[in-house]
Every structure is written in structure tokens, then in C-alpha cells.
Amino acid sequence: MKPVWLFDLDNTLHNASPHIFPHINRSMTAYLMRHLALDEAAANRLRVDYWRRYGATLTGLMRHHGTNPHHFLHDTHQFPELHRMVVADAALSHLLRRLPGRKIVFSNGPRRYAEAVLDVLGVRHHFSDVCAVEQMRFHPKPDIRGFRHLLRQQRLQPARCILVEDSADNLRTARRLGMKTVWISRSLRRPAWVDVRLPSVLALARHPLRRGR
């Protein structure tokens, strides 16, 4: 039986660290300054604290401040020159074409942003769907509720799924549900809940997992 591939987006399918993540971080800090009446240092500390505690700044804002998630995501994900900010390898499309089975993007970002990045990468056609934070009902990874929303909406059996992801915490939730896990990382360690650790998503091309084993 062919697997169902669940791909994280940022720092998995493309490198968000050089340009996109710094831009989002600045935008989120500015949002907290405006809406919570904080200075820059305090806003930045709170942004990082919520990200570390909940896996997403948005979760902390919704839980503690009643922030409207749609307003927050729209405001903090504006990219007038996205095509100049996306860093990826030209071999990505070839890899995705060779992988057997259904492929879904599973991202904590908003859908509009995820779709735009996939268009810039030129790989949207390889994916049957995009499950963004709106489809998770604003329960982003590693919250198990977001995973369960995905499984129900897509009518998936966890045992058929392979999550490819740069966050070890998110992979831990996937393993709890019975998914296979691929960690995109150059770390020398490999947590017990990680089945495979690869330095790049492109390394899937040489791994037996790509044959559905």
C-alpha cells in the first residue's frame, strides 16, 4: 500500500531561515507592540515565550489575549516580494514527482501563505491538498488536536502516514498517533520517536521510505 506523505512547509520544503522567518518574527513583534501596548523588547520576549510554550505565538495570543487568529495571520504574513525570499533547491520538484503515494502539505502557517510559497517553488501540483492552521481549527502542531483534524478531514489512517518535518516536537505527536516520522535536521542526535533523520528533504530520494517500506 502506498504511503501518504505529510510535508511540513517552512524549513522542510524550503529554507525559511534566511529571509522569511526573520520577516515573520519582525511582523509578529510589531503586531504585539501595537495590540498589547508593549515596547519592542517586551513584545519580542512575549512572542518567543509563547512560541516556546505552545509551539506557535498565535496559540498564546488566543489563549491569553483573545486575539482574532484571522486578523493576526493576515497582518503578520504580508510578503510583497515573496519570490525573492524563498530559498529552495531546484531538485525539489523532481523528488516529489518520484515519491509514490499521495502528498499533503501540513503547515502551521496560514493557507494563503502556504499556497503562495508552493506556487513560488513550482510544486503545488504535486500535492493533493494543503492543511494549514485554519484547517486545524487553529490548533497548530504539536497540538494533537490539529493532527486529528487533518486525519478526519482527509480520511487518513495514521499507520499509512509519513510526516516529514524539521520540528522534533511535532514528530513526537505524529509518533503518538502511529505515524512514521522523518526529521529534517543536521543534528547528531536522533530522538526515540524519530524513525529517520535526514539532512535535507532531498535525501528522501535515496532512502527506502520513498518506496513505501
The pLDDT of residue 144: 97
**Is the separation of the CB atoms in 141 and 147 below 8 Å?**
yes
The pLDDT, as a whole number, for residue 212 is 53
Q: State the pTM of this model.
A: 0.94
pLDDT at position 81 is: 93
Write the CB contacts of 46 (distance below 8 Å, at least 6 apart in sequence).
32, 36, 38, 60
29 sits in which H/E element:
helix 20-36
Alpha carbon distances (Å) from 182 to 7, 27, 47, 201, 205: 10, 30, 28, 9, 13
> How do residues 190-211 score in pLDDT, each as one tens digit?
999 999 999 999 999 887 776 5
pLDDT at res. 206: 84
- Residues of the chain scoring pLDDT < 50: 213
C-alpha cell at position 23: 520577516
Q: How far apart are alpha carbons 129 and 168 in whole angstroms?
A: 23
pLDDT value for 100: 93
Backbone angles phi, psi at 163, to 5 degrees: -95, 125
Query: H-helix or E-strand containing 86?
Result: none
| pLDDT (tens digit per residue) in 88-110 | 899 999 999 999 999 999 999 99
Give me the helices (H) in 55-164, please: 57-65, 69-76, 82-85, 92-98, 111-121, 144-154
User: For position 213, what pLDDT does the model report?
Assistant: 47
Interatomic CA distance for residues 87 and 17, integer angstroms: 9
Q: Evaluate whether 176 touches 147 at the Cβ level (below 8 Å).
A: no
Maximum Cα–Cα distance across the chain: 54
